[in-house]
Structure 1
């Protein structure tokens, strides 16, 4: 049934009555009567809307009509009455992915030029001189757009060169594609609405969500931009901004390729070109001895660059810098200024920032597991991802290329890659598996001992298929309960959090916070080792949390959750993207959106029905 309404009048009346805290949302925190009468302008029929969830749905529907500048508009009561699971999933599928999509081209650059992160007087786009087509295209745009400059990067980009860009930070070009009438940017999907750059491991999880929602072309576009970055910038970047040129991201490119290939009817020529690039990345980014490959034969995260990372907010490192400011007898801001300018250099502080930059490369920025130690660690996460690379390359060569694949004049076979994977598995078991704890720990290859910090990355070998059945059982029966909360698993255990420096900022990737990638990798790992019932439970916990917060807080889908309180209200070193919006959530958050769609693929129908009961029984029409 549809009701014809005077949009502005009803919108204002609804907010005046129900939005008592004036945050432009209707949530469980508001103290209004939670009961609003609608009157159809044509029939004068009345309908009473009751409860936080239904009233917030009404507000969202009215917000859309206002955006469309409708004076008299129809509100569909079926949309207001829609079950929460169906509504959340539908909005992700129909709206959120499109809202999060960006392009770097004539159309897309207008948004990026106005980006709040663009601190230059003139917005700057960097493009590699190797991309001849891109250089020509963007140089033409430079003539058309106001307040816009194109800078051509050299073919070989050193860390010393990257340091010279800090005074003039900018966005990095991504792939272009020829359409019928013009060149256009290959689209990418950003993590959240305040971002205009393509982030590394976020993009893999987003890609999984896109594939589930039937958006194969957008998932392929992510792979195209991965390939472009490897060819033109030497690696898949933490994100495509100039100050990220010295660091990569958790390696998940091969997993995206396999997921795309599993959709069927994939072009073999396309797959060949991407498999070549995966192998190139493996060899040149991960397997160079002394950089990200260590003497143990296992890998680490190891970003280049010296000193404080560029992207952090002022004051972020005050707890780190303060002792050095005292050491050099300077006010902290003056010390920071001189250190950034390299007027003062301090080897001990420089080493701290080697670890900090490497931690940011890991995607876990920040966690006490990696603070001041990351570059010393054969971390469980990166080695699980690289084991998966080796197994993926093995299976792709076997299944799609008849057992032989040539890349860079080298012939590769499935057996070769199976051997690489087996070696990594043996070393992981030897160095990272802890029989007493029944979990995997990072291995400190510098001090030649395990680093016994209990982190959710201990479950990544389940996802990668790296552990044997006995180890999987220990992980599920012994380790999992230590991380489990009502709404899923935390980034670390409470025990590891309590043993860390309690005077330090609360790290967002540690206890008590829960993140979508940890949940998704855990679920797939549980299914891989046939823990189907446990997988159902863990999926339900996380989807319950997302659904509960969306129902109670005007459709909010945030970046992360506090699992102690089962809430999106997070108090850590960084905020919580996806919570700041007016009237209607436009895009959610990329990998949380993906986790919801992926979880619904796994979850039993009866459990989905239970999620739909999160509305209070008295919230009826």
Structure 2
């Protein structure tokens, strides 16, 4: 089914961006290199399966596969030597050593050029996809740009006054929408079958604080295309049915879920996913793979949010869950589309997107609110009930102005009682070994919490959370001279653990949120350089 054909004609407006036709998606390495790819990943030649996914063939992949088929049965054949001879394999990045005595702010601002990449042209045999303008990567094993990470990186770039780099990155995301019909998880061919939490409208909002309404005019075509991607299949969808990322509930409400167009092991985690599916013999492997991929699209890869059994990743059911954060972000997208349509004098489109936003807000406050517990939750399509766990995602309706004041107050009380720890905001209340669970805290969720709580007058709690997280970041920086992907916030003030790969340094969104929090919590007319400069709220 095609998404909203009638609305598409309704929303026609001058194209202020030179859009290109959506090109055929380049095949990922697990397709171009099969069955060699599966052999290499199964042999565990590299500690991280993403390494071979990012390797660049030195000649046409088809020719390499043919050579392997001729040679691999011969006496003395070495798969490792064959790979070394036929691929340029990425190595570990050299650790960045900051100048002695740098403040936390100075260290982060010195990292921006270190983390900046420019790949206007790429080797067509590899998995990296080109982008026309420079961009900032997270760091470590993450050698490409990532969708939702980048919004929080942009907050830091804006704090550093690097508005040209902000514009460059928003332009790159608009280019990806024009090229692929959506923003992929990252600019790799193996990420094209999924997206990530839809933050493009928030990026445009951020740029508009510098450029004004011209930002909404410029990116309106891509905002519309982003919405069409998430809403594909909504027209004619019967109640109680789902199509791709859109779900129409029995009462006629429309909400969204995470999804992936492919149902095979993830290219970058091939053998991990094979092993996970093997632990669920009662389920079709393809469904486990799709749910793992949908969990990756959520950004929370992985978390007890998506699991029936918190101790078993094989119980993942992401596609059966309506997430409160995703639907809050789509509400913001619809509100932004309404505003942008108003800027371009398209009154009918403004009314239609406002109608959709209001309908989604009602559904969130009805179907994703748990009145007995007093916080926002996800909804389980399989059981027809809400999933009762309190997670940091409960704060998205506050951050994006969806909650009523009583709901915001009750959510804040629950968060303070269960998620606020000495080092910041926990992701969930459960310790499972998954990285998006306790005891980890993640920079983007700290920002959502602080900004969301402040929007509803919960200034004391917001400041408490912000200062505690800044102290955690500062403690690790003072000890190790780096920022990391995630932190333990239960009081031990170290780098976080769990998940599928070791803790990564860098780190884009931690850098961005740290600068944004230093700005937000600093005294008026003062420039805070470190956590010690921020007034303590405890």
Q: How big is each residue's C-alpha offset from its partner over 1:505-524, in whole Å with a ceiling of 9 and x where there is no partner? A: x1000111110111011111
Structure 1 348/64 Cα, relative in aligned 2: closer, same or farther at 3 Å? closer
Equivalent runs, 1:92-491 vs 2, <5 Å: 92-93=108-109, 95-105=110-120, 124-125=123-124, 149=125, 170-174=127-131, 176=132, 186-264=133-211, 268=214, 271-289=216-234, 290-296=243-249, 297-312=254-269, 314-315=271-272, 318-322=275-279, 324=281, 348-371=284-307, 372-398=316-342, 400-401=343-344, 403-404=345-346, 411-413=348-350, 415-491=351-427
1:88 equivalenced with 2:104 (yes/no): yes
TM-score (norm 1): 0.63
2: distance between equivalents of 1:209 and 1:608?
14
Structure 1 352/609 Cα, relative in aligned 2: closer, same or farther at 3 Å? closer
Greater CA drift, 447-456 or 604-613 = 604-613
**1:569, CA displacement in angstroms?**
3.9
Q: State which structure, 1 or 2, has the greater radius of gyration over its C-alpha atoms.
A: 1
Structure 1 264/170 Cα, relative in aligned 2: closer, same or farther at 3 Å? closer
2: distance between equivalents of 1:564 and 1:509?
14
Residue aligning to 1:612: 532
**1:568, CA displacement in angstroms?**
3.0
2: distance between equivalents of 1:419 and 1:442?
23
SS of the residue aligned with 2:218? helix
Residue aligning to 1:339: none
Q: Do the aligned partners of 1:558 and 1:568 also contact (CA within 8 Å) in 2?
A: no
2: distance between equivalents of 1:322 and 1:212?
46
Q: Which structure: greater strand fraction?
A: 1
1:524 equivalenced with 2:437 (yes/no): no
Q: Do the aligned partners of 2:277 and 2:289 also contact (CA within 8 Å) in 1?
A: no
Question: Where does structure 2 lack aligned partners over 5 or more consecutive residues?
Answer: 1-94, 235-242, 308-315
Q: Do the aligned partners of 2:440 and 2:497 also contact (CA within 8 Å) in 1?
A: no
The count of residues paired between Structure 1 and Structure 2 equals 418
Indicate the RMSD between aligned Cα atoms, in angstroms.
2.6
**1:578, CA displacement in angstroms?**
4.0
**1:565, CA displacement in angstroms?**
4.5
**1:573, CA displacement in angstroms?**
2.4
2: distance between equivalents of 1:613 and 1:396?
39
Equivalent runs, 1:4-153 vs 2, <5 Å: 80=101, 87-93=103-109, 95-105=110-120, 124-125=123-124, 149=125
**1:206, CA displacement in angstroms?**
0.9
Question: Where does structure 1 lack aligned partners over 5 or more consecutive residues?
Answer: 1-59, 66-78, 110-123, 126-148, 150-168, 177-185, 325-345, 406-410, 580-587, 615-621
2: distance between equivalents of 1:538 and 1:347?
41
**1:487, CA displacement in angstroms?**
1.0
